[in-house]
């Protein structure tokens, strides 16, 4: 499980990284700027090892954490990544802006270990549930596409079918006459096996029918 910590102060990164590693989070990445964080998220997605959670500082130069959150969430690969804002700010406007940008939660500095781990656990549990839901939806979409494809391949006969009263050939939609077997095979899933009924057998082969006791 890969977690990204974003903060423009190196000692904050070191403290958080050490805390997470002590708790068993071995895949921890760090970024000293929002621009670097965005690059790390994009690169990890391209490497098929996406970031699972981001701890994002709000107050950073050039691109702040709220704008970085908005930029990450604007990408398809970023929509599913939970972002927890880590900040010393207490103004509600910051939190409202962060949530509007797509943040899932926040913790305030100085970091309280239990609070951070609890909020991380909740965010990761929700992500797992959402990932499973998306997987089920994708499986359902594929099944529906396969079903739709199968239904399109099934040919159903409807309406009146012109059949010659003498030779029993069928007139198709092009106005051409063709054998009944060929017509039905083209327009349905029907397959034919041929035999001869008793009345026809007696009529066509009277001597054989007599010998076989079918007369």
SS3 75: coil
Q: Encode pLDDT of 70-79 as tens digits.
A: 999 999 889 9
The domain 2-145: what is its CATH number? 3.40.50.2300
- The Cα–Cα gap between 84 and 103 comes to 6
- The Cα–Cα gap between 36 and 174 comes to 67
> What are the CA-CA distances from residue 202 to residues 166, 198, 208 (Å)?
20, 6, 8
Q: Which residues pair with 107 in a beta bridge?
A: 86
The whole-number pLDDT of residue 154 equals 54
Q: Are 55 and 28 in contact (CB under 8 A)?
A: no
Q: What is the mean pLDDT of residues 83-110?
A: 90
> Helices (H), strands (E): how many in the chain?
8, 7
- Within the chain, all domains assigned CATH 3.40.50.2300 are found at 2-145
Lowest mean pLDDT among 14-23, 72-81, 116-125, 148-157: 148-157
Nearest by Cα to 116 from 41, 22, 11, 26: 22
Distance of CA 135 to the CA centre of its chain: 5
What is the biggest distance separating any 2 CA atoms in the chain, rounded to whole angstroms? 107
Band of residue 166 on the pLDDT scale cut at 50, 70, 90: confident
Q: What is the pTM of this model?
A: 0.66
Read off the DSSP letter of residue 63: S
Q: Encode pLDDT of 7-50 as tens digits.
A: 999 999 999 999 999 999 989 999 999 999 999 999 988 877 88
């Amino acid at each position: 499980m890969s977690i990204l910590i974003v903060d423009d102060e190196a000692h904050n990164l070191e403290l958080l990284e050490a805390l997470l590693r002590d708790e068993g989070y071995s895949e921890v990445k760090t970024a000293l700027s929002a621009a670097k964080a965005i690059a790390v998220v994009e690169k990890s997605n391209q490497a098929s090892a996406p970031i699972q959670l981001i701890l994002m500082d709000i107050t950073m130069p050039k691109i702040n954490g709220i704008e970085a959150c908005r930029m990450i969430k604007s990408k398809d690969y970023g929509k599913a990544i939970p972002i927890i804002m880590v900040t010393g700010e207490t103004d509600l406007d910051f939190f409202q802006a962060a949530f509007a940008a797509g943040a899932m939660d926040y913790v305030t500095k100085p970091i309280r270990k239990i609070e951070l781990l609890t909020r991380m656990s909740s965010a990761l549990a929700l992500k797992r549930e959402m990932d499973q839901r998306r997987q089920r939806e994708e499986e359902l979409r594929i099944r529906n596409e396969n079903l739709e494809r199968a239904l399109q391949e099934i040919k159903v006969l409807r309406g009146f079918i012109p059949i010659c009263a003498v030779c029993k050939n069928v007139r198709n939609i092009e106005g051409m006459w063709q054998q009944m077997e060929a017509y039905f095979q083209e327009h349905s899933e029907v397959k034919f096996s041929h035999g001869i009924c008793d009345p026809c057998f007696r009529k066509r082969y009277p001597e054989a029918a007599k010998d076989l006791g079918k007369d």
